[in-house]
Structure 1
Amino acid sequence: MNYSFDFASVTNNLGPLLKGLVVTLQLTAAANLMGLTLGFILALLIMSRWSVIRLPAMLFVEFFRCTPAIVQIVWFFYCVPMLFNVFLGSMTMGILALGFNLTAFNAEAYRAAIQNVPREQLDAGIALGLNPLQRILYIILPTAFRASIPVLLTNGIVIFQQSALVAIVAVQDLMYQGKTLATETYRPIETFTIIALIYFAVSFPVTQIVGYLERRRQLLTS
């Protein structure tokens, strides 16, 4: 192998990569906000006793869980404007695609946690005179959220990694900026190695937090 590595050509042009990282983090934050909020609402709809509410919610979850994220992103960017005559910015489309994907996965995490909420807590809420909405806000939501934190964090970091897919529709995230820099410097190995390290540097601490929370929960329940 006669290839001569030159990481300086990349490290001397970190500005675009850092700008791309900011866009990636913005996408991730917005998608997680959607996923955390809508995921809980969707979980409640899935557990509804009325099939007219439950079935569409289940169909939404299964669609986003059983189709590739890249297909969902392309569909939002190209099909939504054509079918519904709705034209939004590329950043907004990226947030919607990633946010709905995360919503589906978070809904399953919330649903499992809601099913494990102790019946005694719900009975206590009824005894205190709380209406259904108050029981959801003050009993079910806090309990389910705490139990779901490890899974929610894992799903969030997965979306951070999957956000690289929006580069194919010209959102100027970290991957898009990396592809541009690799083309300009003719250094794809060095460029994508640096990009991989950036993704790792952000993801690894979160995975360690998830592991810590899992171990702590096991200790508390043992």
Structure 2
Amino acid sequence: MHVDFSAVIPYWFVLLKGLGLTLAFTLSCAVLGSLAGFVLSLLRQSPKGWLRTATTAYVEFFRGTPLLIQLFWVYFCFPAVFDIQVSPYASVVLALVLYMAAITCETFRGSMKSISSDQHDACVALGLSPHVKMLHVIFPQALLRSVPPLLSNCVSLFKESSLISAVGVADLMFVGQSISNSTAKPLEFLTTVGLIYFLIAFPLTRGVTLIESRYLKRYAC
């Protein structure tokens, strides 16, 4: 087998366009999913039993099934069940946001559960309303504690977003596969795609560790 990585050079711009789409999906779905996850974390602590049960079922379903199955279901089954035509891009956003919401829900819930009972007792002693307590006392501390796992979830979402190529979205993985098939050089192009994912994910992972070890432990104890 003749290995020639110089064959990748003419296709760099196309690969970068695919990377841009991957990053756009990751960032937008991470933000929307995190916001939805925070709302779900509040619903999981609702005094209404049926609301807690429904939210728990949602979270456990999306955490317990493969993301690829969720992508396929939204892309192929959602239009048939609800009689609504959904574009590949919209189906990808919907699936990734639903998945991210389930993951971040547990992140926020765990962070809020980690707040000591003394904090809650102090709010009661001061006569703070539940709304004020959550907004000004519990939420700032929970948000600080949830930063490392939230960032880790975003890195995981970036890597798992390679699955969206399965529904025909021209992300980095889809572009790399297409070029490797047309040029008959899978080793060069798939290796390059893997390196691109690594060169982005590894510094982000190290950054999460740095943030957690040097800054957050000082305040989120």
Q: Scaled by the length of structure 2, what TM-score is found? A: 0.92
Q: Report Cα offsets for 1:148-194 as digits up to 9, x if no partner.
A: 11111111111101111010100111011111111121110000111
Q: Report Cα offsets for 1:54-88 as digits up to 9, x if no partner.
A: 00000001001110010000001011111011222
Q: Scaled by the length of structure 1, what TM-score is found? A: 0.92
Counterpart selection for 1:69 from 67, 70, 83: 67
For residues 102 and 7 of structure 2, the distance between their equivalents in structure 1, rounded to whole angstroms, comes to 41
Map of 1:182 onto structure 2: 180
For residues 124 and 32 of structure 2, the distance between their equivalents in structure 1, rounded to whole angstroms, comes to 30
Map of 2:94 onto structure 1: 96
Q: Report Cα offsets for 1:92-130 as digits up to 9, x if no partner.
A: 211111111111111111111101123343344455554
Pairs aligned (count): 220
Quick check: 1:12 aligned with 2:10? yes
Map of 1:147 onto structure 2: 145
For residues 103 and 185 of structure 1, the distance between their equivalents in structure 2, rounded to whole angstroms, comes to 39
Map of 2:212 onto structure 1: 214
Equivalent position amino acid for 1:177 in 2: V
Map of 2:32 onto structure 1: 34
Map of 1:131 onto structure 2: 129
For residues 56 and 113 of structure 2, the distance between their equivalents in structure 1, rounded to whole angstroms, comes to 16
Quick check: 1:169 aligned with 2:167? yes
Question: Which runs of 5 or more structure 2 residues have no equivalent in the other structure?
Answer: none
Equivalent position amino acid for 1:52 in 2: W
Equivalent position amino acid for 1:47 in 2: Q
For residues 148 and 220 of structure 2, the distance between their equivalents in structure 1, rounded to whole angstroms, comes to 15
Task: Note if contact 2:144-2:220 (Cα within 8 Å) is conserved in structure 1.
Answer: no
Q: Report Cα offsets for 1:33-56 as digits up to 9, x if no partner.
A: 122101111111112222111000
Identity of aligned residues (%): 35
Counterpart selection for 1:205 from 200, 203, 206: 203
* 210-219 or 47-56, which deviates more: 210-219
Report the CA distance shift for 1:121/1:195 in structure 2 as closer, same or farther (over 3 A): same
Cα offset for 1:221? 7.4
Cα offset for 1:31? 1.2
* 10-19 or 163-172, which deviates more: 10-19
Question: Which runs of 5 or more structure 1 residues have no equivalent in the other structure?
Answer: none
Report the CA distance shift for 1:221/1:91 in structure 2 as closer, same or farther (over 3 A): closer
Equivalent position amino acid for 1:111 in 2: R
Equivalent position amino acid for 2:211 in 1: L
Equivalent position amino acid for 1:209 in 2: G
Task: Note if contact 1:34-1:100 (Cα within 8 Å) is conserved in structure 2.
Answer: no
For residues 135 and 220 of structure 2, the distance between their equivalents in structure 1, rounded to whole angstroms, comes to 24
Task: Note if contact 1:35-1:102 (Cα within 8 Å) is conserved in structure 2.
Answer: yes
